[in-house]
Chains A and B, each alone.
Chain A
């Protein structure tokens, strides 16, 4: 089973600050996805990274896939209270099995 470790588990910062959260594995993933989940709702897909070294930007969010496709990071610039939520990374289970394996997530709180 391929595992995804996310860090930090919890992060609370002030509005306007920058932050980076990480998603690491000892296994190679064909792709990784990042989701944001707000209280009372299901996760919403933010981005999918496929190529090693790939960088994708979504407004103030920058996603990077490691060269070896074992890790990924999410950097938020000038965080806003609306960025508050649970950030999850996920990847295909692999080995021919369907379904996604998820990290346990980073709980992010942006204080005004």
Chain B
């Protein structure tokens, strides 16, 4: 059974640009959540989608957005990139929504903003 797949794995963007990251969950999983990981702040919850609906959102500015498609694949977008957005962005999927369920992480997308 294939794991969570994230693309691209590495990317470099310039300040002010926007970026779109993609996540394909484990087959049959309907919940996809996104996290940002930085050395200073650790792993922070961005948002979760379940059946194409955003369930919850973390404390990030509106520049961070996401969506989920009918096949459960998800994308997140960051507009007007800032240097501080440089981070590892992790996607995780689970079969059901809710914080107590087992989630499976992808390998992440490394974003560097210069």
Contacts and interface: CB of A to CB of B under 8 A. Distances in A.
A109 interface: no
Interface stretch (B12-20, B71-79, B100-108): B100-108
B4 A42 contact: yes
B74 to A, nearest CB: 14
| Prevailing SS type, chain A contact patch | strand
A30 B99 CA distance: 10
Given A42-B92, A104-B42, A105-B42, A99 B99 contact: yes
A43 B33 CA distance: 14
Contacts of A43: 43, 90, 105
6 contacts: A43-B43, A44-B105, A45-B102, A48-B100, A98-B97, A100-B103
A24 interface: no
Interface in B69-94: 90, 92
Contacts of A40: 107
B107 A42 contact: yes
A7 to B, nearest CB: 13
A98 B4 contact: no
Give the interface size class of chain B.
20 to 34
Interface string A42-58: 11110010000000000
Interface residues of A, number: 24
B99 A94 contact: yes
Given A103-B42, A104-B41, 16 more contacts: A42-B108, A43-B90, A45-B103, A45-B104, A93-B45, A97-B56, A97-B99, A98-B33, A98-B48, A99-B45, A99-B56, A100-B33, A102-B42, A104-B42, A105-B42, A105-B43
B71 to A, nearest CB: 21
A41 B107 contact: yes
B102 A48 contact: yes
A103 B45 CA distance: 12
A62 interface: no
